[in-house]
Amino acid sequence: MASAILGASSRQYVRGTVLHKDEDGNPTIFKATRGNESIVLKQESKSIFDLSRRLGDEFAGSRQLRMPIDFNPEDRIVVYPYFTDTLLDLMRADPDFPPAELKKILRYVGEAIQEFHAKGWLHLDVKPDNIFVNWTWNEEGNKTVTDAALGDFGIAYKQVGATPLRTGVALGNFMWRSPEAQTGSGMTKATDIFSYGLVCIYALGGGDLLLLEDKKVLAELAELGITPHEYILTRHFTYFGTVNEGLLKQVDSCEHSTLKKASATAELAVKNQPELRFEVWGKELGEAALDMISGMTKPDLTARLTVDQVLRCSWWQEP
């Protein structure tokens, strides 16, 4: 990329800090400026560039969705608004960030999913590092979220009617996938709801129960011949309930044995340690939060809450 890039709308952006490099060390994402405005320049593949243009047109002006604000077709550069943090970085830097402000972020995310789903789109990669946040603090150190948006639509898909998506490969980050997304089959709007439920648990302090980043644990799993996604799938069945016919009817039959194996392992774990169920340890979040998140994370995707139902839950009215 040149130091100054001409966008599709004849806007000139001055490249600044490198925010990301590809596997070969080539910079692909930059923080840049246009006057006093900070923005992000991201070089995309042709398929994602074309998808970004389509989404930018369909969701122009959205406040909850981090949509492109400009394009450079020649270099396949997509221009995005700049946010100071992601939810992931924010929680890692400040685990004691005010709960009321985290709840505000979750509400923004729910409204973003609602807007996306209303037009038939599936995000398929809802996770804390795809939730962008602006926040500030005053002289007394009080922190306030000023804006938040759901972004990164690289694997988004527009559903045709009510037909579930089948790709044959797992989609999204393995730690935040629903059981059906782990199989690459039977994915619907409910797939985003499961991931959103995990994000809620994370924001409410349950990161240790969701993340799998310890290199020692990963090495131990590898020695046992267990892949990270198999381990996470089993853990989700342990927390939220085992395989049922509702789930099996939605996913490809070739994946049934994988789901049943993980479910059986989870069932044995719960038999020995009943406190592993979310219905037990989730009580610490309060009854309203427990009810809402339980409805979002049911293994049977046909039984999960819709985003409209989630946003009507009583938890949002609690202080």
Burial of 167 (0-12, 13-18, 19+ CB in 10 A): middle
Q: Which of 16-20, 53-57, 64-68, 277-281 has the lowest mean pLDDT?
A: 16-20
| CATH number for 98 | 1.10.510.10
What percent of the chain is modeled with pLDDT above 70? 96
Alpha helix segments (H runs only) across the chain: 46-58, 87-93, 99-118, 179-183, 189-201, 215-223, 228-240, 245-250, 256-272, 278-281, 287-296, 307-311
Half-sphere exposure of 270 (CA within 13 A, CB side): 21
What's the confidence (pLDDT) of residue 75?
A: 86
Does the residue 61 lie in any domain?
no
Q: What confidence score (pLDDT) does residue 111 get?
A: 98
d(CA 169, CA 181): 8
Average pLDDT for residues 93-113, to the nearest whole number?
97
Tell me, yes or no, whether 282 and 142 share the same domain.
yes
Q: What pLDDT digit, counting tens, does each position of 231-279 carry? A: 999 999 999 999 999 999 999 999 999 999 999 999 999 999 999 999 9
Amino acid of residue 29: I
Confidence bin at 152 (pLDDT 50/70/90): very high
Q: How many domains does the chain have?
A: 2
pLDDT of 2 strictly over 70: no
- CA separation for the pair 39, 120 (Å, rounded): 28
Residues of the domain holding 152: 85-317
Q: What does the alpha-carbon distance between residue 132 and residue 83 come to, in Å, rounded to a whole number?
A: 6
Last residue of a domain, one of 81, 102, 123: 81
Q: Are residues 130 and 165 in the same domain?
A: yes
Residue 39 belongs to some domain of the structure: yes
Distance CA 236, CA 99 (A): 25
Task: For residue 211, give both structure tokens.
Answer: 């993340």
Mean pLDDT of the chain: 93
In a domain, 62, yes or no: no
Reading the block at residue 234, the tokens are: 């089993």
**Residue among 222, 212, 215, 209 at smallest CA distance from 173:** 212
Strand partners, 121: 158
DSSP 142-207: -EEEEEEEE---TT-EE--TTPPB--SS--S-TTT--HHHHHT-SB-HHHHHHHHHHHHHIIIIIG
pLDDT at 25: 80
Whether residue 89 sits in one domain with residue 75: no
Residue 249 domain-assigned?
yes
Per cent of the chain over pLDDT 90 is: 84
21 in Cβ contact with 28 (< 8 Å):
yes
Tallying the residues shown for the chain, one arrives at: 319
Q: Are 103 and 77 members of one domain?
A: no
**For residue 51, is pLDDT > 70?**
yes
Phi-psi group of 180: left, alpha or beta (phi > 0 → left; psi -120 to 50 → alpha; rest → beta): alpha
Residue 3, pLDDT score: 45
- Note whether 41 and 152 are same-domain residues: no
Q: Tokens in use for 165?
A: 């998506």
pLDDT at 109 over 70: yes
Q: What angle do CA 204, 208, 210 make, to 5 degrees?
A: 80
Q: Are residues 97 and 76 in the same domain?
A: no
**Is 176 in the same domain as 104?**
yes
Count CB neighbours of 42 within 10 A: 19
Cβ contact 176:199 at 8 Å? yes
Q: What's the confidence (pLDDT) of residue 8?
A: 46
Q: Has residue 11 got a pLDDT over 80? A: no
pLDDT at 7: 46
Per residue in 154-211, pLDDT (tens digit) is 999 999 888 999 999 999 999 999 999 999 999 999 999 999 999 999 999 999 999 9
Distance between CA atoms of residues 166 and 187, nearest Å: 7
The average pLDDT across 37-63 equals 94
Residue 33 has pLDDT above 90, yes or no: no
Whether 57 is covered by a domain: the verdict is no
For residue 14, pLDDT over 90 is answered with no
Residues 118, 217 within the same domain: yes
Q: Is 77 found in the same domain as 149?
A: no
The answer to whether residue 216 is domain-embedded is: yes
Give the model confidence (pLDDT) of 211-240 as tens digits.
999 999 999 999 999 999 999 999 999 999
User: Does 59 map to a domain?
Assistant: no
pLDDT, position 167? 95
Same domain, 75 and 91: no
Range 7-21 average pLDDT? 68
CB proximity list for 44: less than 8 A, separation 6 or greater = 52, 76, 77, 78
pLDDT at 289 over 50: yes
pTM: 0.94
Please give the average per-residue pLDDT across 304-319, as a whole number: 97
Residues 34 and 144 in one domain: no
Residues 19 and 168 placed together within one structural domain of the fold: no
